[in-house]
Amino acid sequence: MKVLMFGWEFPPHIAGGLGTACYGLTKGLAKNNVDVLFVMPKASKDEDETYVKIINASDVEVNTRFTHLHTFSENVQFLEVESKLVPYIGLDEYYHIVDQLHSGVFEEEEMGEKRKYEFSGKYTQNLMNEIEHYAIVAAEIARNYEFDIIHAHDWLTYKAGIAARKVSGKPLVVHIHATEFDRSSEHNRNDIVYGLERYGMNEADAVCAVSDLTRNIVIQKYGVSAEKVFTLHNAVEPTGKQVVREKYVEEKIVTFLGRVTFQKGPEYFVEAAKKVLEKVPNVRFVLAGDGDKMAQTISRVAELGIADRFHFTGFLRGSDIDLMFGMSDVYVMPSISEPFGISPLEAMQAHVPTIISKQSGVAEVLTHAIKVDFWDIDGMADAIYGIVNYPALSHFFAVKGKEDVDNLKWEHVAKKLKGIYEHTIDVVITIKS
């Protein structure tokens, strides 16, 4: 079986869990005898192609006389809104959606010439233009490669997946790693992103959601038929290296690692830290990441008078994450709405006792992580207090947590995904016949 897969990022250059999941899935699929052609807007030439063939969309020549893709503006109503576009957002990087008039429309061209589209592959102010051009390139790729099924990751690539489906007639699977309801509150929903998500899910032949939590959102909030939505939990990539536990300070270290945004609940981490420090003053708290709530979070830390116990590292990647986990005594993920959450798996893989919110998809697959409601700062503080004060408790969650994640393998996830592919192909063939 061969899959044409569309993503937006791939290790080593990633901005969040999406790229990590794409790598794990493609590697797992290779172990299940599934070949993957992985398309990304801009490859850096240093991606690991051991298990996948990377297609750099920026290198693809498009014959513009064949870009006869129809508008879907009648299916999606686009509204100009003063809302932040936050796929994976950095500090103070607010991006407004631009070129609204061209959203959702492919103009028929008859210029009879070839051209390439240059992509940044990032989350910039020209993001909507890049999504449009990515779909045009996707159609060209679909015309020139052999494959059995199409797989598109998150809303950024749904138009590309749909374009490839229209050209090839092959089934389309879309993968939901996060929805607009996770990134924003109910009242701050970005209707343009929501419209693209809904269109992609309803056009797809099958939908993969990273948790039961996300599956329910897809069915209830997007009106997608339940029979075509499948839960496909994430896993964690084995590091194959021994975790180095290094302590540079005597105090216990409690870590938050993730985007400092509404979705991740950093304010609850700060409030819980204040309660812990009232009982145990010799604890340090580390907030590793950046995002639009960074300034507000720093201000709150100062207001609570705990700045001397707090450290802000900025966004970490690669070996710096390994180093951070090696220093940590507790990892906390207090997400308000987390479709899955790969970072707790990485922490537990490094023998770090972990506390997660019950409002996370990863809570569905972990037995030996402490689970609290994101808003329950007393419960969160109690859990932190217990781990930093009782070595036996800390040891128990470190050992059992590692056993949990060792059983979550991408090749097992990929085997289930292959079954979804086969089922989807059979259904489409039956409908066509």
266-291 pLDDT, tens digit each: 999 999 999 999 999 999 999 999 99
pLDDT for 79 beyond 80: no
Average pLDDT over residues 353-364: 96
pLDDT of the residue at 107: 41
Q: Give 176's pLDDT tier (boundaries 50, 70, 90).
A: very high
Residue 189, pLDDT score = 85
* 104 vs 330: which has the higher pLDDT: 330
**Segment 151-156 mean pLDDT:** 96
Is the model's pLDDT at 379 over the cut of 80? Answer: yes
For position 84, what pLDDT does the model report? 43
Residue 242's pLDDT is what? 63
3-state secondary structure the chain: CEEEEECCCECCECCCHHHHHHHHHHHHHHHCCCEEEEEECCCCCCCCCCCCEEEEHHHCEEEHHHCCCCCCCCCCCCCCCCCCCCCCCCCCCCCCCCCHHHCCCCCCCCCCCEEECCCCCCCCCCHHHHHHHHHHHHHHHHHHCCCCEEEEECHHHHHHHHHHHHHHCCCEEEEECCCHHHHCCHHHCCHHHHHHHHHHHHHCCEEEECCHHHHHHHHHHHCCCHHHEEECCCCCCCCCCCCCCCCCCCCEEEEEECCCCHHHCHHHHHHHHHHHHHHCCCEEEEEECCCCCHHHHHHHHHHCCCHHHEEECCCCCCHHHHHHHHHCCEEEECCCCECCCCHHHHHHHCCCCEEEECCEHHHHCCCCCEEECCCCHHHHHHHHHHHHHCHHHHHHHHHHHHHHHHCCCHHHHHHHHHHHHHHHHHHHHHHHC
When pLDDT is averaged across residues 107-126 and rounded to a whole number, the result is 70
Statement: residue 72 has pLDDT above 60: no
**pLDDT band with cut points at 50, 70 and 90 for residue 69:** very low
pLDDT the model gives residue 66: 56
Q: What's the confidence (pLDDT) of residue 8?
A: 92
Give me the pLDDT at residue 86, please. Answer: 43
More confident residue, 311 or 186: 311
| Bond preceding residue 12 cis, omega within 30 of 0 | yes
For 242-257, what is the mean pLDDT?
81
240: pLDDT confidence band, cut at 50, 70 and 90?
Answer: low
Given a cut of 60, whether residue 76 has pLDDT beyond it is: no
Mean pLDDT of 218-226: 96
The pLDDT assigned to 89 comes to: 38
Confidence of residue 433 (pLDDT cuts 50, 70, 90): confident
Mean pLDDT (the chain, rounded): 87
Q: Provide the pLDDT for residue 122.
A: 77
Structural domains of the chain, with CATH: 2-235+410-432 (3.40.50.2000), 252-406 (3.40.50.2000)
Is residue 124's pLDDT more than 50? yes
pLDDT tens-place string over residues 392-421: 999 999 999 999 999 999 999 999 999 999
Which of these ranges, 42-56, 92-106, 245-259, has the smallest mean pLDDT? 92-106
